[in-house]
Amino acid sequence: MELLRPSKADEAAAALGNGSVALAGGTEVVPLLREGLLHADTLVQLTDAVPRGVDGTRIGAGTTLAELEVDPQIPQALREACSLAASPQLRAMGTLGGNLLQATRCWYWRLGFDCWLHGGERCFAKDGAHREHAIFGNDRCASAHPSDVAAALLALGATVRTTQRELPIAELYRLPSDDNRETTTLARDELILELDVPTPDASTYLKAMDRRKWAFPLVGVAAASRGGEIRIALAGVAPTPWLLDGPAALDAATPLPGTAYKVEIARALVRRATEGVDPTGG
């Protein structure tokens, strides 16, 4: 396998596609290559090509989660989401861009089952083990998006700048459909360069997990208030990060038999998170 290390973003983007895969911290790419779930003739190392660091509201996609969790310029919800993700070692390597693009943790998918998301006919999780799976958007694939960080950025109303465009973070994600089973809208030769994260009046991130450390979100709830409005976004509840149109929107959840408990956890965390950022103190 060849390793390229371009120094410019446009060179890195031009090298992608046709068997070339972007490599940031490698905490996701390397396990996927090892398991045969990702194939690459060439790895394009992004270290010198993608911005790293925080400058006011702008965050380079190459910034590690460990750098973000201690940076005072970063809104609290994002710092908390980073500090509750993975382990210290993984946060020291894992970057913001890589975190947003991590693949599902659904074990059927990770074990290489020919499931619907892999292009097959059925979702094995729906009939099988699905305690960690989705309560929204689970019509075709019931996977639960694992990124704490993406939910925080969604509540904060972040904008993503890529080598091709600028878009609200909500538009980086899509529910997979029969004719397109991708869960992001990023093109094969498109790189995330940086995010712009508006400063909220207040924000928080709460996470329910099986262990108190080093566990993916069963349910993660981010809330951010700005100018009297509160935005809420969830992790671990749908195949993509999920924007919640207020606490009552949980009534529209479509849980599987084994994920009904997540609705109750989400209700409790949404209540606590919104109380925590409510400017009226309510």
104 touches, from ligand FAD, ligand SF4, none (C-beta below 5 to 8 Å by class):
ligand SF4
Residues 99-128, interacting with ligand FAD (CB under 6 A)? 99, 101-102
Q: d(Cα 144, Cα 151) in Å, to the nearest integer? A: 12
From first CA to last CA, the distance across the chain in angstroms is 57
Per CB under 6 A, 98 contacts ligand FAD:
yes
Q: How far is the CB of 117 from ligand FAD (least distance, A)?
A: 15
98 touches, from ligand FAD, ligand SF4, none (C-beta below 5 to 8 Å by class):
ligand FAD
93 touches, from ligand FAD, ligand SF4, none (C-beta below 5 to 8 Å by class):
ligand FAD
Return the number of the residue (129 or 268) whose C-beta is nearest ligand SF4. Answer: 129
123 touches, from ligand FAD, ligand SF4, none (C-beta below 5 to 8 Å by class):
ligand SF4
Token pair listed for 8 = 């410019």
In the chain, the amino acid numbered 112 is: G
Contact residue for ligand FAD among 14, 90, 175, 263 (CB under 6 A): 90
Return the number of the residue (126 or 176) whose C-beta is nearest ligand FAD. Answer: 176
Q: d(Cα 272, Cα 151) in Å, to the nearest integer? A: 16
Q: d(Cα 192, Cα 90) in Å, to the nearest integer? A: 20
Return the number of the residue (57 or 184) whose C-beta is nearest ligand FAD. Answer: 184
Neighbours of 3 (CB within 10 A): 10
Q: d(Cα 254, Cα 157) in Å, to the nearest integer? A: 25
Helices (H), 15-139: 29-34, 65-69, 76-83, 88-93, 96-100, 107-110, 124-127
Q: How far is the CB of 213 from ligand SF4 (least distance, A)?
A: 25
Per CB under 6 A, 29 contacts ligand FAD:
yes
Contact residue for ligand FAD among 15, 21, 232, 256 (CB under 6 A): 21
Per CB under 6 A, 183 contacts ligand FAD:
no
Return the number of the residue (106 or 169) whose C-beta is nearest ligand SF4. Answer: 106
* Residues 6+ away with beta carbon under 8 Å from 5: 45, 47, 48
Contact 111, 192 (CB under 8 A): no
Return the number of the residue (46 or 233) whose C-beta is nearest ligand FAD. Answer: 46
